[in-house]
Structure 1
């Protein structure tokens, strides 16, 4: 029996990136389907989040993600460009955001056809895995192709159906909060949220209790 779960996820979240390939490997090993539910980054949902957080928060987060990437043996470098245009020194979020809405709408378009998880994995490897200028040339097109998708078709849908895609993205956030959390990455299985890249083993344990089997 195939089990199903939803993964609430952000292109800007380094912890989402650190979780994605591990959840994808889980779907390859077990009779499990995970539907990607992209959500807006905190910088879009709560632009003042970085300014009102503790001054140590940002520095610790950078230290922690680099340590985790080494521990998990997952390549990671600060994204160039950052999906969110932000002055790190002042933590001010720019009004002009040329990257994130394209990523979100393409990600949701990929999710519509059941390829969102693969698209997120491939694209996040570009953004967080050390590819400078990931938004240039054919980097994204090749990532989409590896995910079984056509970037030109995704971009066209993102422009043509922007309003509906944005409504679906907002609905994803509402569904995440209705399930009992607000952050990413959060896996929701049978209504139970598992927040963070450090809860993957706990989610697997719960799914095995519910009959998850290897393929």
Structure 2
């Protein structure tokens, strides 16, 4: 039976884009299944009562300029494209809720990958409902139904349950992977997660 690794992520995160590109490599270790759990990162941080993005940045590592440069370096290391999206032109809440709605419809992983590729692989200038529908259809989902579900109470409830589960597991930001009761936060901790999974597989 496959071990379940909970993957908490937000579409509007550079580091989630990077981390999701490595999911297939993690699953290839053997007897591992990644459960994709989309959420709004701001909601998770509010639930934890801690955020490094309030007011003035608490460290240079949280400045957008540094994070963009850092993400570009990681993307080059992974061999994937990285282009900055038009951050202020995109309703990230709506995009993330689209991923949550996809979790109700079917293949949330396939849809999330398309959202990530469009946002960060192509450097989206905007992501409107037409894009959400088209990308859903490419992932084999009913795009029009998905968009109609964005403000549905059941979608909101699913998002809140995901936040609650993330907090209960000890997550405080994204990307976070949880397995065997252990929390691995950040794209740069993937090597530690891989080591943990390999040790168990051995």
TM (normalized to structure 1)? 0.77
Q: 1:75-114 to 2 correspondence within 5 Å?
A: 75-80=81-86, 82=87, 85=88, 99-114=91-106
Residue 117 of structure 1 corresponds to: 109
Label 1:137 to 1:188 Cα distance change in 2 as closer, same or farther (>3 A).
Answer: closer
> Could you report, residue by residue, the CA deviation over 1:126-177 in whole angstroms, capped at 9, with x for unpaired residues?
0011243452585444432332222212112223x2x232232223222222
Task: Point out the structure with the larger helix share.
Answer: 2
State the alpha-carbon separation in 1 of the partners of residues 25 and 160 from structure 2: 28
Match of 2:141 in 1: 149
- Larger mean CA deviation between 66-75 and 50-59 belongs to 50-59
Query: Structure 1 residue 113: deviation in Å?
Result: 4.1
| Structure 1 unaligned residues grouped into runs of 5+ | 87-97
Match of 1:204 in 2: 194
Change (3 A) 1:55 1:22: closer
2:162 maps to 1:158: no
Q: Which whole-Å CA distance do the structure 2 matches of 1:140 and 1:13 have between them?
A: 17
Q: Secondary structure at the match of 2:154?
A: helix
Q: Take 1:178 and 1:70, find their aligned partners in 2: how far apart are those partners? A: 34
**In the superposition, relative to structure 1, how do residues 25 and 122 fare at CA in structure 2: closer, same or farther (>3 Å)?**
farther
Which residue, 50, 57, 62 being the options, matches 1:53? Answer: 57
Gaps of 5+ in 2: none
**What is the aligned length?**
196
Q: Secondary structure at the match of 2:198?
A: helix
**Cα RMSD, aligned residues only:** 2.8
- The answer on whether the counterparts of 1:11 and 1:41 sit within 8 Å (CA) in structure 2 is no
The aligned counterpart of 1:194 is: 184
Alpha-carbon distance in 1 for matches of 2:140, 2:32: 19
Question: Judging changes above 3 Å, is the alpha-carbon distance between structure 1 residues 50 and 43 closer, same or farther for their aligned structure 2 residues?
Answer: farther
Contact 1:126–1:134 (Cα < 8 Å) also in 2: no
User: TM-score, normalising length from structure 2?
Assistant: 0.81
Q: Cα distance 1:206–1:112, how it changes in 2: closer, same or farther (>3 A)?
A: farther
